[in-house]
Structure 1
Amino acid sequence: MDSQKIINTKKHLVIAFFAIAITMLCTWNVMAQEATKAGSITITVNIDNCKNDDGHVLLGLHTAETFMKGPGVKNAKVTIENGKTTATFTNVLPGTYAIMALHDMNDNNRMDFDVNGMPQEHYGLSGNEMSFGPPQFVDAKFEAKEENLHFDIRF
């Protein structure tokens, strides 16, 4: 075999190797995504007692580490129609979570307070616990396991 044929054969082998490697990588990526989705659930949240249709409802799916400290592990901003709204969190992995919801009537993306520290906007939690003082993770927590979940949060 002359050297040109050997070089061409090596080129074809290298190209074939990379084609197979890319195909395997793409297949592995799709399988990994499907495995993640297979182990995840959907959480649907309904709120049917918004005071008005002004602004949006901001929702956060929180772990103990994110609760009352900023954005959740998943977040949603939904519109209100006739005092009602629905939000959906998809691809939620098993774990312990709590949901916080805020009716952000003036669309400033935060809770507004009176000078005495009382909230000016309505809020609710997945446990529907409304006590005096700041919300507590323990009052709102729930376990996400294998089945989809549905919550009706009250303001």
Structure 2
Amino acid sequence: MKFLLSILVVAMLSITNSITAQNTQTITVTVVNATSDAGKIGYALYTKDNFMGKPIQGKNGKIVNGKSTIVFENVPSGEYAVTCYHDKNNNDKMDFSANRMPLEDYGSSNNVMAFAPPSFENAKFMLKDEDLKLEIKF
């Protein structure tokens, strides 16, 4: 009986993992206009609940000829936002002047250019049941 129960549990876990894997997508994000190939582009994927806090996924992308592309994988359908910045000096943080103006370029999904930090409402997009490609301009 224990053997049969073990087989049943393993089968259920396999089915659950298979269903979960099928319900996730990828989000490919490309920055198309970095001002130089120095440093890297830091990317962050957020939901409304954690926007501008700890991202769901964070990635760094190499810059080649002013472009950088990364892929967020295994992302469930839902509402998200992406932010990114050009880490020109590779210090893993966005640098600011003494008066709190950014010294490094930044952008977000939907490319809303405001003289303020990005907001979730301006940057949000829906990920449905297919892979998505986004272009961000600084």
- Work out whether the TM-score is over 0.5: yes
Of residues 140-149 and 27-36 in structure 1, the stretch that sits farther from structure 2 once superposed is: 27-36
- In the alignment, structure 2 segments of 5+ residues that lack a partner are none
Query: Which amino acid letter does the alignment assign opposite residue 80 of structure 2?
Result: Y
Which has the higher relative contact order, 1 or 2, with Cα contacts under 8 A spaced 6 or more apart? 2
User: Residue in 2 aligned with 1:100?
Assistant: 83
Q: CA RMSD in A?
A: 1.5
**Percent of pairs with identical residues:** 38
Query: Aligned partners of 1:24 and 1:107: how far apart in 2?
Result: 50
User: Residue in 2 aligned with 1:78?
Assistant: 61
Change (3 A) 1:133 1:29: same
- TM-score in terms of structure 1 length: 0.82
User: Residue in 2 aligned with 1:37?
Assistant: 21
**How far off is 1:40 after superposition?**
1.3
Structure with the larger strand share: 2
- In the alignment, structure 1 segments of 5+ residues that lack a partner are 1-16
- TM-score in terms of structure 2 length: 0.91
Change (3 A) 1:36 1:83: same
- Write the deviation string for residues 106-137 of structure 1: whole angstroms up to 9, x where unpaired: 12111100112110111110010010112111
3-state SS, counterpart of residue 132 of structure 1: coil
3-state SS, counterpart of residue 147 of structure 1: coil
**How far off is 1:18 after superposition?**
4.5
**How far off is 1:19 after superposition?**
4.1
Q: Which structure is larger by alpha-carbon Rg, 1 or 2? A: 1
